[in-house]
């Protein structure tokens, strides 16, 4: 990789998510050379992926070119690369486009879908962690409805129109709510020759409440909202098998569906060379100290979802969410400059700004430290916060226009099968 | 295909482009059953595809779900299908999802890229007729710049940064202008470690002027605008070969490029069963009479690009543009109802509303019947007309927001490689 060596120390950041971008911004205009590596040339605003899947937003409005984030920073280098190996003895990152030495390395590679070793489910289910995955899900949902029109087999038609979401976290809840609104507002108009009332949306949750990272009040209200929208919630049920048609669980329950969305777990996206038991802890995340340093190294760090920082309040590590990632990225920026100047670093203290989830039109739940509220006001707060954290004025404007339009018209116009999923990928697989 | 037979006559429309949608709208709320078949579930606003390719617009904002166009029409059926054969003896359309009988058939299948039989060019060049193709071109342009950073071979780097556009019609001209603006405004900021001044944009035109469908004044001014933007225009040159690296022409000129955009010709997208010499004329289009009837049939019609209607002003057939398509679709709607009522049909008379092309910021050329003008005012007219003809309020708003933002900020933020083209398709091909 032909990146010139300068007199400045070189910091390699792996991953342009919330953590990586926050760190890179902090280091801009400082006397360090920053090299950011990512397999995409854009930053993804993951909290809104479910709206891409359900036709409410275009993918381009929740993505932002990484090169643009740091356009004015002279010591910034971006490379589109897959990192294959981290050589900690030679301080070298090995990638598909060549190797690069670092003075400081920051792992910000985020998280990946956790199938808990079930390769059959991995093969047949849909994930929603990246923009291409979300577009695949969008295509599949629409292709299934087109196919439902063609079959006279009632069981097959139901399987095409049913949706099973495994996992009752924010992703599962928000997706279920959006699907319920599509079922109610769009399907009857788009498919008048199909009895879309038969379409069923299921959330399967292994625990005894959904949104288990939030307050009991939020969970209860979210369940209430979902049930009013007609979503079926199955608690204390675990999915054990899925062959592309039938979902088997640890109970008597089975579901017929051609669309299983796996939102039941994430794990750290570790990289070869730092993936041994010396470094990796619960959830496949890399254990870090309070300065985000990886055990045994002064100059190798991990931030965001990939980093497991255990605190008193979070003995299993900080939650895998945007806020800890952004805060760690920002603080590591300051700490790295301190370290380079041979000054003491400051330990990271997580400021819990709360969490929230939307269920649908006028329906959201918000847990702040002091206040917990649900309903219309929570929904406005949810929208405001998401618009605020989106990167880029254009993205905010386009998302805002879409939301206003969708709200007024009860519509989601991006129901476009731009790259068919089923006819291409599913056939290739088999 | 399980579409119920009713007492109404059945009209099958093949293709949801400008012509097909205009016809379907006319037939809505009438006593006919309309079945629209298309291989996409959306209508594409083709005149703005070049802005998708160059990161100025998101694909979702120039596409519109076909089902939504006719949501309130009770006798309307849409099916996502590839039409494989038209059986004119049994009045049946054969598709990948089954067969369907018609009382009236309307071919509105549009046009396809014409490579004039050169399969090597077809294999290696990029087309820009559909949204997936435009997204592929967007990805390729960006991937090439990422790759240019990685090579130390100066020839290869230049080939990665050069763009050759074959064809000086509106598509070629608009794409060249957009690329020139990217070269000037975005590349130097995004790729500070690359000498992007070396990137060259070429238009190769077989005739002696570009925009040959427009006035001499428009052609001259467009050439002037393009040259000021640094685009190289090669007139009276024909491309003969392209192996993915070197463009060979009928002159001494050769070009090194990894991005050849073929905008040199279109042809009618005929369908088996109506593709014999009995029906097909110049440009692979289907010869129709002044009622858009296909020779030998009273109940089979062709409209839009696929139809070749020869008139006094257009002895080779009406131009393959949006206006004749929309006008023919609308008039055929009226004529079909007349025919069903056994009343006389009205011959089609084309109202030439003029033509226009934009070259870039504040630069467009407009030919109206009475007035021909170029420059800033023409540019505003171009924008207004394109916003007006876009289907859907949301699309108009989103495109408008993008244009205002791009204008103020000299930017195009959708420079996202969402589905890599090179690493996936090119590799698979070889």
ipTM: 0.94
Q: In chain B, where are the structural domains located?
A: 10-39+81-113+266-340, 119-264+361-429
Least confident of A48-62, A325-339, B128-142, B415-429: B415-429
The strand ranges marked E within B151-244 are 163-166, 201-205, 232-235, 239-242
Architecture of domain B119-264+361-429: 3-Layer(bba) Sandwich (3.50)
The residue of B80, B131, B160, B410 whose CB has the most chain A CBs within 10 angstroms, and thus the best one to mutate to test that interface, is B80
With CB atoms and an 8 Å threshold, state whether A398 touches B401: yes
- Residues of B with Cβ-Cβ distance to A60 under 8 angstroms: 58-60, 413-414, 416, 418
Token representation of residue B310: 């020869």
The whole-number pLDDT of residue A70 equals: 86
| A430 has a pLDDT exceeding 60 | no
Smallest Cβ distance to B416: which of A63, A402, A411? A63
How close A59 comes to chain B (CA, Å)? Answer: 8
Percent of chain B with pLDDT over 70: 98
- Domain B10-39+81-113+266-340 and domain B119-264+361-429, same fold? Reply is yes
Architecture of domain B10-39+81-113+266-340: 3-Layer(bba) Sandwich (3.50)
Assign A428 a pLDDT band (cuts: 50, 70, 90).
very low
Axis crossing angle, helix B322-340 with helix B18-27, rounded to the nearest 10: 30
| A426 has a pLDDT exceeding 80 | no
Average pLDDT for chain A: 95
Residue with tokens 């876009």: B390
| A327 has a pLDDT exceeding 90 | yes
Whole-Å CA distances, A107 to A104, A283, B52: 10, 16, 33
Average pLDDT for chain B: 95
- Residues of B with Cβ-Cβ distance to A130 under 8 angstroms: none
Smallest Cβ distance to A58: which of B61, B72, B392? B61
The whole-number pLDDT of residue A170 equals: 96
With CB atoms and an 8 Å threshold, state whether A418 touches B63: yes
Residues in chain B: 430
Which residues, 6 or more positions from B156, have their beta carbon under 8 angstroms from its beta carbon?
Answer: none
User: CA-to-CA distance for B59 and B400, rounded, in angstroms?
Assistant: 14
How close A405 comes to chain B (CA, Å)? Answer: 7
- Over residues B279-321, the pLDDT tens digits come to 999 999 999 999 999 999 999 999 999 999 999 999 999 999 9
The whole-number pLDDT of residue B25 equals: 95
Contact A132, A126 (CB under 8 A): no
pLDDT mean over A64-69: 95
Percent of chain B with pLDDT over 90: 94
| A207 has a pLDDT exceeding 70 | yes
Token representation of residue B294: 């296909």
pLDDT mean over B67-80: 92
Least confident of A67-76, A215-224, B57-66, B84-93: A67-76
Assign A427 a pLDDT band (cuts: 50, 70, 90).
very low
| A429 has a pLDDT exceeding 50 | no
| Residue of A183, A203, A202 whose CA lies nearest to A194 | A183
How close B187 comes to chain A (CA, Å)? Answer: 10
Burial track B290-301 (b if 16+ CB lie within 10 A, e otherwise): ebbbbeeeebbb
- Over residues A162-188, the pLDDT tens digits come to 999 999 999 999 999 999 999 999 999
pLDDT mean over A257-280: 95
Contact A414, A55 (CB under 8 A): yes
pLDDT mean over A366-394: 95
| Residue of B307, B406, B386 whose CA lies nearest to B350 | B307
Assign B245 a pLDDT band (cuts: 50, 70, 90).
very high
The whole-number pLDDT of residue B355 equals: 94
The residue of B34, B391, B414 whose CB has the most chain A CBs within 10 angstroms, and thus the best one to mutate to test that interface, is B414
The whole-number pLDDT of residue B429 equals: 40
């Amino acid at each position: 990789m032909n990146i010139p060596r300068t007199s400045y120390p070189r910091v390699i950041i792996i991953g342009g998510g919330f953590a990586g971008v926050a760190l890179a911004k902090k280091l801009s205009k400082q006397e360090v050379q920053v090299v950011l590596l990512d397999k995409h040339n854009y930053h993804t605003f993951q909290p809104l992926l479910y709206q891409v899947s359900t036709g409410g937003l275009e993918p381009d409005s929740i993505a932002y070119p990484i090169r643009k984030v740091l356009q004015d920073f002279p010591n910034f280098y971006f490379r589109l690369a897959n990192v294959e190996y981290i050589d900690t003895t030679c301080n070298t990152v090995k990638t598909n486009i060549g190797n690069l030495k670092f003075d400081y390395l920051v792992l910000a590679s985020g998280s990946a879908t956790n199938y808990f070793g079930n390769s059959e489910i991995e093969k047949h289910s849909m994930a929603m962690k990246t923009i291409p995955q979300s577009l695949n899900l969008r295509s599949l949902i629409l292709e299934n409805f087109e196919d439902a029109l063609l079959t006279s087999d009632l069981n097959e038609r139901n399987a095409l129109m049913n949706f099973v979401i495994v996992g009752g976290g924010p992703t599962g809840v928000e997706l279920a709510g959006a699907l319920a609104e599509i079922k109610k507002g769009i399907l009857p108009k788009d498919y008048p020759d199909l009895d879309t009332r038969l379409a069923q949306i299921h959330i399967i949750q292994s625990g005894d409440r959904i949104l288990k990272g939030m307050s009991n009040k939020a969970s209860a209200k979210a369940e209430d909202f979902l049930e009013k929208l007609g979503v079926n919630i199955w608690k204390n049920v675990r999915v054990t098998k899925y062959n592309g048609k039938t979902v088997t669980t640890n109970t008597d329950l089975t579901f017929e569906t051609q669309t299983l969305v796996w939102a039941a777990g994430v794990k750290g996206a570790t990289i070869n060379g730092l993936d041994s038991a010396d470094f990796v802890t619960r959830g496949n995340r890399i254990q870090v100290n309070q300065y985000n340093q990886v055990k045994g190294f002064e100059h190798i760090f991990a931030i965001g979802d990939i980093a497991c920082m255990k605190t008193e309040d979070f003995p299993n590590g900080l939650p895998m969410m945007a806020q800890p990632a952004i805060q760690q990225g920002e603080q590591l920026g300051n700490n790295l400059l301190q370290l380079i100047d041979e000054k003491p670093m400051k330990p990271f203290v997580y400021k819990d700004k709360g969490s929230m989830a939307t269920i649908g039109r006028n329906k959201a739940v918000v847990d702040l430290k002091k206040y917990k509220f649900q309903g219309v006001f929570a929904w406005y707060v949810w929208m405001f916060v998401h618009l605020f954290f989106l990167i880029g004025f254009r993205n905010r404007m386009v998302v805002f226009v879409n939301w206003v339009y969708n709200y007024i018209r009860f519509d989601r116009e991006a129901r476009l099968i731009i790259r068919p999923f089923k006819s291409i990928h599913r056939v290739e697989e088999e």
